[in-house]
Amino acid sequence: MGRATDPPARGSEAVAKPVVSVIADAVAIVREILVWPVRLWLGAAELAGAFVLSAWEAVALPLLELGVAALRAALRLGERQVTPARGLTVVAIAATIGLGASQFSDYRAVEIGAPSYKAVENVAPAPRVDTQSPRSAHGVAVFAIAVAGLFATAFAVGRNWRLARLLTVLGVAAIVICLLVDAPQGLREGSAAVDYEGAKAILLGGFWAQLWSAVTLAVVGPLLAAQLRAVHAAGRADQARGLEEQGVTETFPVPPPGSGMEGAAT
């Protein structure tokens, strides 16, 4: 009976070998189909990487090094030129300019129907009426303070450092006007409360710009005075030292070489 089953077994093996071969060939073909795009992508990525690297080394890296060198040079220049006195002078000038500019912007307004717009105020804020500038509350007083502060800063730097203390007085005066005159008048609805329902007076950015400029002016005054005083004291010390050295030279002149005076004292 064993001999009777041998021919079918050999036949099944003969059929299985071609099937396995076909499957192996199919797997190899599929693998090649999948591998070739990967190889193409890797080749393209390699070329792109080489291009980016060459561009970085040829263009970006030199520009970066140039920028770093420029920043270092600017830092060294700033360390030599930007002194505390000069920095505070710039702050004082900026504060006076900001204080003067705030007089030409709106500092208050009245919102109409503010409670109805509360839920959608970020999308559709309440309409505003009766916008006014700070000059409507105090006239030209704060603008005059700003002009005086600008001149005080200029003369403090150029002539007398004590004038920088005047900035504190001017700043405090502007703060008092902001809080005691502008704020109460700005928060009054006035006739808009009668003409419109739900009217609410608010303070705008012009008021806060005016207030913080005045605060900056009041704070920077004594700081600038102290720095300018130190600068002037150092300048007087250098001048006195130079005059002293000049006086010594005139009293005991240095004899010219070869005049025979070098050994006279001995």
| Pair 91, 216: CB distance under 8 Å | yes
Specify whether 110 is located in the same domain as 210: yes
For 17-65, what is each residue's pLDDT tens digit? 777 777 777 787 877 777 778 778 888 888 888 888 888 888 888 888 8
Q: Confirm whether pTM is higher than 0.75.
A: no
Residues 164 and 232 in one domain: yes
Q: Are strands 108-111 and 128-132 parallel, antiparallel or unpaired?
A: antiparallel
Angle between helices 84-101 and 205-251 (to 10 degrees): 150
| Residue 254 covered by a domain | no
Neighbours of 171 (CB within 10 A): 25
Same domain, 217 and 100: yes
For the segment 139-156, what is each residue's pLDDT rounded down to a tens digit?
A: 999 999 999 999 999 999
Regarding whether 149 and 31 lie in a shared domain, the answer is: no
Q: Which burial class, exposed, middle or buried, applies to 165 when counting CB atoms under 10 A from its CB (0-12, 13-18, 19+)? A: middle
Please indicate, yes or no, if residue 57 is contained in any of the structural domains: yes
**Statement to judge: residues 151 and 106 lie in one domain:** yes
Domain containing residue 39: 8-79
63 and 107 both lie in a single domain: no
Query: Which among 24, 58, 79 is the end of a domain?
Result: 79
Angle at which helices 84-101 and 166-177 cross, to 10°: 30
Of the three residues 54, 79, 104, the one that is the final residue of a domain is: 79
